Amino acid sequence: MPQTPTTITDELGIALTNLADSATGVFTPTLRLGVTGLSRAGKTIFITALVHNLLTQGRLPGFGPLAEGRFIGARLADYPDATIPRFAYEQHLASLTADPPSWPESTRRISQLRIVLRYQSAKWWSGLRGPATLNLDIVDYPGEWLLDLPLLGLSFAEWSAEALERARQPGHAREAGDFLAALYGIDVSQHANDPSAERLSSAFTTYLRRSREHGALSTLPPGRFLLPGDLEGSPALTFAPLPPPQSGAPRDSLYTVLEKRFEAYKAQVVRPFFRDHFARLDRQVVLVDTLRALNTGPEAVNDLETALSSVLACFRQGEANPLLRPFVRSIDRILFAATKADHVHHTSHDRLEAILNRLVANAARRAHFAGAETRSVAMAGIRATSEGTIREGGETLPTLIGTPMPGEVLDDVSYDGITEIALFPGDLPERPDSLFKDGNPVALNFLRFTPPQKLERNSAGDVVLPHIRLDRALDYLIGDWMA
């Protein structure tokens, strides 16, 4: 799929906005980092951990500027765009450090945060001018919105055909049954009325929600059906895919009315999101809940691959050109991160990265062709488990030690959110291709764990948030800007 189509007006607006950004950053450069990922991939956790570790100069041995003693410090600053909600860093950190701790709420709207970084450049000519400053602008938005970007390249007829084909697949019968029943026998050329449109839209939304619960991702757009915000109940969210009319559809027919609403959704919801936020990014983090798909089965794995390929085709990616940057921004580095690496033993981390590489292979090739760099990593923004061993049947097995979330069930045991357990999580397959061909899910003991119950503090009294490879991720994303 080609990159997201834009109009001349869109391009002019993007250029003017980039020029304004450049004008305000004449003396202090600004790096815009997009944090994205599909639902429940851990975006909020990642940003909270990243910001906290920069503010407290946490344990980041793989972050070059800190490891080399050149990182002076960081502070939060007001974001220049007062119309965009601020990422609630303090509230999220309070949830993680409460007694008992809890995971913060998932992303439900777009938010941004600016953190100002002070460092000493490693370049001798830069060092003569004294410490340097970098504004790091972090852009966070719901994963469901991300899946809307491919809609900009589709007509109502094309989207309807794809959506209905997916809904009719045998694996989606349980989720899509009620929607397909509501659609059965309907005359799309009939006169449109609001009750009919609302009934179809409601049945379609229920189908999307059920799909999300069972791990399906490419079936989710339109994303605002799941997270409507202030658009709830508006005509822009009252449509559904329809089969094509047997003959021409009158102007007031159900098909024509829903087609207009689909186009309005793209024009008034999706396109402004792409133009005002997505097209202005310099670096991109793509967080992927690989383990959840593996635990669900091959259909979910293949669905995740399809969703990632569709979304990443919309990125504006390519090698950064300093001469054109005041007008045109492109993503020159993409980090693919398999989150929740703390849910498997470290001996499986290499396999988790290999599976992620297989999932994003098509997208990575496209990025490389455009001139962008990519890297994959298995990580956890906040580590919820520790590791140990147990003896079972004369064999020593590697285990995870942690506290399962209340209500989690494994082997008919329901956990209370208080009891700590030692769990053998299972092994990931050595050959990633087997996940896309064989008919069985990976045998993982997959549980959700509470945040770490007891947190250390550093010499300054700041809480230390344990992580897995957050330092490597941070170094890849911003280390070169602080060289």
What would the pLDDT profile of 247-301 be if each residue is shown by its tens digit? Answer: 878 889 999 999 999 999 999 888 888 878 777 889 999 999 988 888 777 777 8
User: What are residue 200's DSSP bridge partners?
Assistant: none
Distance of CA 159 to the CA centre of its chain: 22
Both ends of the chain: CA-CA distance in Å?
36
In this predicted model, which residue has the larger pLDDT, 438 or 1? 438
Helix (H, G, I), strand (E, B) or coil at 333: strand
| b/e sequence 416-447, b meaning 16+ C-beta within 10 Å | eeeeebebebbbbbeebeebeeeeebbebebb
* C-alpha span between 359 and 278 (Å, rounded): 22
300 and 196 share one domain: no
361 and 394 share one domain: no
Among residues 379, 383, 305, the alpha carbon closest in space to that of 35 is found at: 379
- For the question of whether the overall pTM of this predicted structure is more than 0.75, the answer is yes
Q: What range defines the domain where residue 416 resides?
A: 386-437
DSSP string over 256-317: HHHHHHHHHHIIIIIHHHHHHTGGG-SEEEEEE-HHHHHHH-HHHHHHHHHHHHHHHTTS-B
Single out the residue in 219, 238, 273 at which a domain terminates.
273
Per-residue pLDDT for 97 more than 80? Answer: yes
Which pLDDT belongs to residue 161?
95
The answer to the question of residue 442 being in a domain is no
395 confidence band (pLDDT: 50, 70, 90): confident
Which pLDDT belongs to residue 316?
65
Question: What average pLDDT does the segment 39-57 reach?
Answer: 93
Cβ atoms of residues 418 and 407 within 8 Å: no
Per-residue pLDDT for 321 more than 70? Answer: no
Per-residue pLDDT for 230 more than 90? Answer: no
207 and 337 share one domain: no
Per-residue pLDDT for 304 more than 80? Answer: yes
Domains in the chain, number: 3
Counting residues of the chain whose pLDDT is more than 90, the rounded percentage is 47
Single out the residue in 273, 302, 327 at which a domain terminates.
273
Neighbours of 206 (CB within 10 A): 16
Find tokens 């007829």 and name the residue.
157
106 confidence band (pLDDT: 50, 70, 90): confident
182 and 250 share one domain: yes
The answer to the question of residue 360 being in a domain is yes
Q: Give the chain's mean pLDDT.
A: 85
